[in-house]
Amino acid sequence: MPAIHIQNLNKSYSHKISALKNVSFDVAEGEVFGVVGPDGAGKSTLFNILTTLILPDSGEISVLHKDIIKDYLEIRKSIGYLPGTFSLYPDLTVEENLIFFATMYKSRIKDNMSLIRPIWQQLLPFKNRYAGKLSGGMKQKLALCCALIHKPSLLFLDEPTTGVDPVSRKEFWEILGSIKQQNITVIVSTPYMDEATLCDRIALFKDGSIVTMDTPQQIIQNFAGTLYTLRTSNIFNLLNIMKHFSCNCTFYPYGENLHIIFYENTSTALPQFENFLKENHQSYDHLTQITPTIEDCFIELTSQKIAL
Ligand code: ADP
């Protein structure tokens, strides 16, 4: 039996805003499952439904084998939840917050200290500091301790690394790896495509629908087309000129580089492209074929292709 079962989930906030459209997927016990997508994709709405905070319009949804509507109180006792917005008590200290959450779940810190020890040790120097005065990364680590202190069997993490510095983001994902070792199922949402590769499986969301769902490796393997990158000194100028390039391809800026996906044979398309760049006086270097990232896959799957 899966830890989470979702069949044909729909949720609208009004007639105009359809936040989730016919969403179906399962999360297996022990998995780290990623819900990945840009702002507005429906990630928080999904998490709010699964954690029994808001009701779906329709769909068959069970969490830990319990119905989210009938059994919502039981579900709340067995899950841990780190919401997208900081939800600890800013005017309680770090230690007081942890005691508060443990007590609320009728649990004791010492019973589950082994679960949070690596994170708690980082927080110890600040245990008497008000939670509201912590840095972004430390706030999220404290929130994770509070979500774990009753040893839930399923942990919901809604954008835990949004607005967190890159070092803390990396540390946070290392911690998630150790949580998985404790047989806790994790469902985590993120707008950062690079984090997707750290999950066992991911669902890529856009505008309330699943674009694709698989292991990150398989999604990359399924990439349609051949991806090239090139470096240029003026990406904006090049993007403007690219509108006039006639080819069955998709192009987009990727940092300071241009990425171009060819959907036709590159033995003819590539020389055409190089010719086009020359004719338009575009200087560039490092025009090379590369392996796509999850971000490239997302763009490939969601972009309007320029088909001839
Ligand atoms: P994400 O977490 O991926 O950014 P959300 O679930 O927050 O996505 O939002 C999905 C869509 O639903 C967006 O269009 C958003 O504006 C809309 N939405 C979210 N919450 C509400 C709400 N309480 N009332 C009206 N619209 C909402």
State the CATH number of the domain containing residue 102. 3.40.50.300
Atom of ligand 1 nearest to the CA of 14: 25
Atom of ligand 1 nearest to the CA of 20: 10
| pTM for this prediction | 0.92
Q: Is 44 touching ligand 1 by the criterion CB < 6 Å?
A: yes
98 within domain boundaries: yes
Torsions phi, psi for 228 (to 5 deg): -120, 155
Same domain, 203 and 229: no
17 within domain boundaries: yes
Please report the pLDDT score of residue 254 as a whole number.
94
Q: Is 42 touching ligand 1 by the criterion CB < 6 Å?
A: yes
Which residue's C-alpha comes closest to atom 17 of ligand 1? Answer: 19
Collapsed DSSP state (helix, strand, coil) of residue 302:
helix
Q: In the listed set 156, 191, 214, which residue is the last one of a domain according to the structure?
A: 214
Ligand 1 center from residue 256 Cα (angstroms): 31
How many Å separate Cα 290 from the centre of its chain?
A: 23
User: The domain containing residue 272 runs over which residues?
Assistant: 223-302
Whether residue 308 is predicted with pLDDT greater than 50 in this model: the reply is no
195 within domain boundaries: yes
Banded pLDDT at 182 (limits 50, 70, 90): confident
Banded pLDDT at 233 (limits 50, 70, 90): confident
Span 278-301, average pLDDT: 94
Q: Is 13 touching ligand 1 by the criterion CB < 6 Å?
A: yes
Strand order in the sheet with 257-262: 249-254, 257-262, 226-232, 284-289
Same domain, 104 and 157: yes
Ligand 1 center from residue 10 Cα (angstroms): 13
How many Å apart are CA 212 and CA 206, to the nearest integer?
10
Same domain, 207 and 242: no
Same domain, 142 and 232: no
Same domain, 195 and 228: no
The neighbouring-strand residues paired with 204 are 36, 212
Whether residue 86 is predicted with pLDDT greater than 90 in this model: the reply is no
How many Å apart are CA 93 and CA 71, to the nearest integer?
33
Span 56-84, average pLDDT: 96
Side-chain half-sphere exposure of 116, counting CA atoms within 13 A: 25
Ligand 1 center from residue 12 Cα (angstroms): 9
CATH no. for residue 296?
A: 3.30.70.270
Same domain, 138 and 178: yes
Average pLDDT along the chain: 93
Same domain, 193 and 104: yes
Whether residue 305 is predicted with pLDDT greater than 70 in this model: the reply is no
The helix, strand and coil proportions of the chain, stated in percent and rounded to the nearest 5, come to 40, 30, 35
Same domain, 204 and 282: no
Q: In the listed set 179, 214, 249, which residue is the last one of a domain according to the structure?
A: 214
Please report the pLDDT score of residue 164 as a whole number.
84
Span 143-163, average pLDDT: 94
Mutate to test the pocket of ligand 1, among 11, 35, 44, 210 (most ligand atoms within 8 A of CB): 44
Ligand 1 center from residue 198 Cα (angstroms): 25
Q: Is 204 touching ligand 1 by the criterion CB < 6 Å?
A: no
Atom of ligand 1 nearest to the CA of 84: 2
Q: How many domains does the chain have?
A: 2
Whether residue 69 is predicted with pLDDT greater than 90 in this model: the reply is yes
Same domain, 99 and 152: yes
Same domain, 49 and 163: yes
How many Å apart are CA 132 and CA 86, to the nearest integer?
9
Q: Are 79 and 135 in contact (CB under 8 A)?
A: no
Ligand 1 center from residue 4 Cα (angstroms): 22
308 within domain boundaries: no
307 within domain boundaries: no
Span 142-153, average pLDDT: 94
